[in-house]
Amino acid sequence: MKLGLPDAAFIRGKVPMTKQEIRILTLVKAQIGPRDIVCDIGAGTGSLSIEAARLAPEGHVYAIERKKEAVCLIEANRERFDLENLSVIEAEAPAGLEGLPPVDVAMIGGSGGHLMEILDRLTQKLREGGRLVINCITVQTLAEALDYLHVHETVYRYEAVQVQVSRLRRAGPYDMAEAQNPVYIITCTKEA
């Protein structure tokens, strides 16, 4: 299984999608194993959920998304990639986490303003040694996540990186760098 499907491989609408370079880094940080149980909160188009399901063929991925258009896109992408180990939950987190089994990996791409409550619920759901990856596109989300991790420093070990990707595009006879939005990736491991 190859990691890092091209962005064009996914059915897209007007819903935000985690771009290929950020997906690759997020999935490498998540260290998803073939039997892992994974949840993707704020799944958007499902690009991370799809790649996670491909990495965990004997496990299961739960994509939690509150927006109907996004849920439809995730379901369409699940069908496109013929993945039976991916369930789509149309719900706002943290409520959408209620019926889930304990998870090995949790990814947060969107929180709908409920990050603290989501992290509290995930702290209960995440197995010891489990990984939590939070993608932050705003400094406010970054600050909120770091505040939580500082308060829970006996529960989580974490690292954070800021990633800025630029893509070349043609400008007449030249190639010009076009910057993408920077993303902060926080990777946490739940302590035993």
- Domains in the chain, CATH or no CATH each: 7-190 (3.40.50.150)
Rounded Cα distance between 86 and 189, Å, is 23
What per-residue confidence (pLDDT) applies to 2?
Answer: 80
Residue carrying the six token digits 């759901």: 125
What is residue 58's predicted lDDT score, i.e. its pLDDT? 98
User: Are 62 and 89 contacting, i.e. CB atoms less than 8 angstroms apart?
Assistant: yes
pLDDT given at position 3: 87
Q: What is the pLDDT of residue 192?
A: 77
Q: Are 71 and 42 in contact (CB under 8 A)?
A: no
The whole-angstrom separation of Cα 42 and Cα 23 is: 14
Token look-up 């595009």 returns 169
The list of the chain residues with pLDDT below 70 reads: none
Cα distance between residue 122 and residue 133, in whole Å: 11
Integer Cα distance of 152 and 2 in angstroms: 35
Q: In this structure, what are the phi and psi dihedrals at residue 118, rounded to the nearest 5 degrees?
A: -65, -45
Per-residue pLDDT, 16: 85
The pLDDT tens digits for 106-147 are: 999 999 999 999 999 999 999 999 999 999 999 999 999 999
> Is-contact 86 56, C-beta < 8 A?
no
pLDDT score at 156: 97
* Burial class of residue 148 in the structure, from the number of CB atoms within 10 Å of its CB (0-12 exposed, 13-18 middle, 19+ buried): buried
pTM: 0.94
Distance CA 170, CA 21 (A): 20
What whole-number distance in Å separates Cα of residue 126 and Cα of residue 169?
41
Tokens describing residue 44:
């958007």
